[in-house]
Structure formats: structure tokens, C-alpha cells
Amino acid sequence: MRTAPKRALLAALLAVLAVPALAARQCEPVVGEGWPPAVGNYGQAASQLLGGQAEDELSLLTLPARGEESQVLLRRDAGNGQWTVLAGLAEKRIYSWNSGASRAGVNLRLDQSPSFAQAPLPDALAQRVVAVWAQALSTPEVAARAPVTDGEVVSFTVNGERYSGLRPGCGQLEALLEQAALLTELAHSKDKKYEKRYEAIERALDKMHNRFSGEDAG
């Protein structure tokens, strides 16, 4: 298993930190259930290529307007119960537009070898992350249907359900992006840094709880 270039994989996820935070009640839904129109085939193929499986507890797939697609996910081994964070980065952009006169159209470049990095996550912390994501993705910040998108698409999954759309710039879903960036950083860390990464994830969850605990979950 090859290790993905850390800077390239973190760039898409850390972009959220440049956006000023707003209270969730000010946020209009930019993410909804399912895939945006005309994105499903591309998104599903990218998710699978980047390590996604139906039994994953949660994931965040980033389909940028330009550049390589990336994904971070959390899964539990059915045999030993161990939780693993897996971060994947496409070797080259999956989505390609063929402009040839005779065969114009979308070409998904799936014949490639993405880079991966992974790390364990303690049981209690992993279950807390899954619970937080499930709660956040059940709030009014999520619409009944994924919106039409033009450019970047972000796609969350939790407990087998998918929610996709634009990059959230406020509210609880923005906090999930920050947590996804921390999970990605953990996946790329050496063993001696794990405890430090776990503490950072715990602090992010505490911060999110303190900020949004009084809001209506819908």
C-alpha cells in the first residue's frame, strides 16, 4: 500500500478553514440526499476506486472542478472490530472530457493505481465520530434532494446513506469537513503521532458539541 502525498490530499479538505464560520441557523442547505443530477456514475466509480465499500461507516468524497479526486473513510473490520481510517488520492484525474469529433463525451479513467494511507482509530472515538456525523447529516442543513452542481462536489456517507452537493461554508457540515481533514492527517501520520491526532479529533468533536448542542436537529 503506497502512501499518498500528504499535501495534495489535505488541500481539498483544509480549504474549508479559509471560510468564516457562521451559525448553523444561518446556513441554507447546499447538500442533499443522494447524488446531484448527472454525477452518480462518476461519483460511484470514484468512490470505489478510492477504496469505498458498502459497509463503510462514514466517508467524505471530494470531486474537485480540477485536479485529482480524494476520499477519506472510516470502516470497522467485521472480524476483529478494529476501526481504520483510510485516505485515498487518485493517481490522475478520474473525470476526463473527450472532445473528439467522433467520440465526444465523458471518459472515466479507472485504469490507475490511487495512493492510500491508513491508521487505526480507537473504538470509543470512532463511534463518537460516527454518531456526530449521523446527527449532523439529519439536521435541516441537509435537503431532501442533492442540488444541481456546477464544479466541485462533496459527498458524505454515514451508516449507508449518501448526502452530496456543494462545499458547506458554515454550520455543522462545515465542522464535518474539518473533522475529515483531521482524519486524513491521522491516516498520514507515523505511529508516534497517533495520540496527538486522536486528541485533535476529540477537541474538534468537543468544539462542535459546545457550539451546536442547543440547536434544533430538525
149-207 pLDDT, tens digit each: 999 999 999 999 999 999 999 999 999 999 999 999 999 999 999 999 999 999 999 99
Q: Which domain holds residue 94?
A: 6-212
User: How far is residue 13's CA from residue 152's CA, in Å, rounded to a whole number?
Assistant: 12
Banded pLDDT at 21 (limits 50, 70, 90): very low
Mean pLDDT score, 72-91: 96
Residue 217 lies in a domain: no
User: Does any domain span residue 1?
Assistant: no
CA nearest to 83, candidates 181, 187, 157, 215: 187
Helix (H, G, I), strand (E, B) or coil at 52: coil
Neighbouring C-beta atoms of residue 102, cutoff 10 Å: 5
- What are φ and ψ of residue 189, in 5° steps? -90, 155
pLDDT in tens, 101-127: 667 688 999 999 999 999 999 999 999
218 inside domain: no
Instruction: Establish how many alpha carbons lie within 13 A of residue 11's alpha carbon, considering only the half-sphere containing its beta carbon.
Output: 13
Residue 181 resides in a domain: yes
Residue 142 falls inside a structural domain: yes
Q: Quote the pTM value.
A: 0.85
Q: What is the mean pLDDT of residues 1-8?
A: 57
Residue % of the chain over a pLDDT of 70: 83
Please indicate, yes or no, if residue 176 is contained in any of the structural domains: yes
The count of domains in the chain is 1
